[in-house]
Structure formats: structure tokens, C-alpha cells
Amino acid sequence: MEVLEFDVTGTHIWYYYCCQREVWLMLHQVNADQDDANMDLGRFLHEMTYARDRSKEITLGNIRLDIVRQEDDGMVVGEVKKSSKYLTSARMQLAFYLLELKERGIAARGELLFPKERKREVVELTAELEQELATATAAIRSLAAEPRPPQAKKIALCRNCAYKEFCWA
């Protein structure tokens, strides 16, 4: 099986930890239902929360950072999520961003922000997270080379998934 070369993104990392079938669909340009109510809510939260910090949103290579701010003890990268329900996915996505910055010589720490829950969680890049991200990135590249998506599995995410028609129609 040929492993394809492409830029893995934070979105790929997030979905890899939730649903590998969804990653495969994204990688093969199968577009989700853009009118899905959950996608609308996500876009709304993205645009309307942490407005003061949002002015500092930046794109760097293959990553888009929701919030970037300088504090006395260094740079902080914030990632806004609608819920802490998929905490592992959110942590790994933010760790991916921190690793991408580290590889560009930029030291930063991360904060996961859950505005509806009024919660935040600090994420620090560790050697263990770096190793896990290397494994996940290789697995995503391998998944992209597969001619068919992984078998659909009914999980909690399916109920609100914009791709559900591709799995359960």
C-alpha cells in the first residue's frame, strides 16, 4: 500500500481520535453536509466567542490557530471547542498545533476553551504526546492510501455527524 504525502492538519488529528471513517471521507474530498445544524453552531461559536482574542487568529502553514496571545510567561495558543465531550481529540489537536509551532522554533503552551461550559484546560507538549502524534500522523497517511473507508461503526458522535448519510443512509 502506497503511503501518500500531504499535509496532515489539526482537523485530521481531531477526527482521527473520534472517527477514522470520517478522516478517510475528508481526505478523499467527500464533503460533509454544510447545512448541518451542528456545523452551524460550531461556526457561530468560532466567530462569536472570545471576540477580543479572535483578532489574533492566525494561519501558519497547514494550521489555523483560533487564539494566539502573548503573556508574561510566553505564548499561549487557544483552541475553542463547543464541548469537552471529545476531550482526547481536542487535546491531541492542540498538541499537534504546539508541535507544529515547536518545529518552526516557536515555544508555546496551549489552552482548550469550552465557552458553553465556561471551562478551560492547559495543554503542554510532552515527549509522550509527540510520540503519539507521530503514530497518529503515520496512521492518517496510511488511512488516506486505502481505497475504501473503514467500516462504519455506531458511536456517540454519529448522532450529530454531518457525514451520517454516508454511513447510515
Q: Pick from 26-30, 56-60, 95-99 the range whose average pLDDT is largest.
A: 95-99
The pLDDT of residue 30 is above 90: no
Q: How confident is the model at residue 156 (pLDDT cuts 50, 70, 90)?
A: confident
**What is the residue type of 24?**
W
Kindly state the average pLDDT of the residues 130-136: 98
What distance in Å separates the CA atoms of residue 88 and residue 60, rounded to the nearest whole number? 23
pTM above 0.95, yes or no: no
7-27: pLDDT as tens digits: 999 999 999 999 999 999 989
HSE of 112 in the Cβ direction (CA atoms, 13 Å)?
Answer: 24
| Angle, alpha carbons 107-54-97 (nearest 5°) | 35
- DSSP calls for 53-113: HHTT-EEETTEEESEEEEETTEEEEEEE-S-STTHHHHHHHHHHHHHHHHHTT--EEEEEE
| 35-90 per-position pLDDT tens digit | 545 544 444 545 555 455 544 568 888 899 999 988 998 999 999 998 899 999 99
Helices 127-145 & 20-27, crossing angle to 10 degrees? 60
